[in-house]
Amino acid sequence: MGHSPRTRPCPLCAGTARGLLFCRDSWDVVECASCSMVYLAQEIPYSTQLDEHEFADSYVREHQRRKQKHPLLLAISGRTRKLKPEIGDRLLAQTLRWWPAAKGGKLLDFGCGDGKFLEKAAQYFAVTGVEISPRLAQMAAARVPGARIIRAPITEAALPAGAFDVVTQFSVLEHEWRPLDALRAAHRALAPAGITVLKVPNHASWNRHIMRADWCGYRLPDHCNYFTPRTLAAMLRSAGFTPLPGSLFDRFPTSDSLWLAARKM
């Protein structure tokens, strides 16, 4: 396959004792024996990842594979998706729920992709994006002319300390080889009492228990962290955040997504 994977310790507690949940194409999904964090046991460098495992390619591959194995379930989930509000609007609504529009301020978006969310957020905030993919960073810069787009991995981006009111992390922490470092970077970048709003796949969902290794949240090796409400809250606390009461929206096992907001104390 061309990559040379390294063994990865638990991204939450740094432990190395773990149990194997399943293996696919030589990738091991494991559960930490100390803290129950579920994660990908191998790690590949960012550069290799960009060359060989572009996010979009792996999405198409997984979609095709699931379509063959579970045509009915996929058809149902495809239909439900059309009933949901446009995703960018939902991300903005969740953000404004924890940081009212009237307060305004500076927003930093980790993993801003092609800038669809930044474009909406720019109506209320001065916006900055961090994006690892050069192609997507270029699209974001073109889409949101007033935005500053930093082209780097989150954990290597040069960010001003204490400069932001809100850090958004939508569908990004599950991709980070060092998610705790990413949360610490968010913590440093935030002003006191600033907030972060996150969305990740929910490893505690019923759908995951039913679909097992064929669950839509498993994308190997793109998704290397698999959070439950408990492990996400624990990692946020380790980074110095306090999860906000009532912010575990969609935490119920019926949802494949997990939302959480936390404050820098």
**In the complex, which residues of this chain contact Zn ion (CB under 5 A)?**
10, 12-13, 15, 32, 34-35, 37
Q: Is the peptide bond before 71 cis (omega within 30 degrees of 0)?
A: no
Do the beta carbons of residue 142 and residue 70 sit within 8 Å? Answer: no
Tell the smallest beta-carbon distance from residue 176 to Zn ion (Å): 16
Please name the residues in contact with 162: beta carbons below 8 A apart, sequence gap of 6 or more.
188, 189, 190, 191, 192
Tell the smallest beta-carbon distance from residue 151 to Zn ion (Å): 32
The closest of 127, 191, 179 to 153, measured between CA atoms, is: 179
**Angstrom distance (rounded) from CA 52 to CA 105:** 38
The nearer residue to Zn ion, 36 or 255, going by C-beta atoms, is 36
Tell the smallest beta-carbon distance from residue 132 to Zn ion (Å): 25
Tell the smallest beta-carbon distance from residue 180 to Zn ion (Å): 11
Angle formed by the axes of helices 55-69 and 71-83, to 10°?
120
The nearer residue to Zn ion, 16 or 26, going by C-beta atoms, is 16
Label the pairing between strands 18-24 and 6-7.
unpaired
The nearer residue to Zn ion, 155 or 225, going by C-beta atoms, is 225
Tell the smallest beta-carbon distance from residue 34 to Zn ion (Å): 5
The nearer residue to Zn ion, 9 or 240, going by C-beta atoms, is 9
Do the beta carbons of residue 254 and residue 206 sit within 8 Å? Answer: yes
Tell the smallest beta-carbon distance from residue 236 to Zn ion (Å): 15
The nearer residue to Zn ion, 94 or 228, going by C-beta atoms, is 228
The nearer residue to Zn ion, 10 or 190, going by C-beta atoms, is 10
**Angstrom distance (rounded) from CA 181 to CA 9:** 14
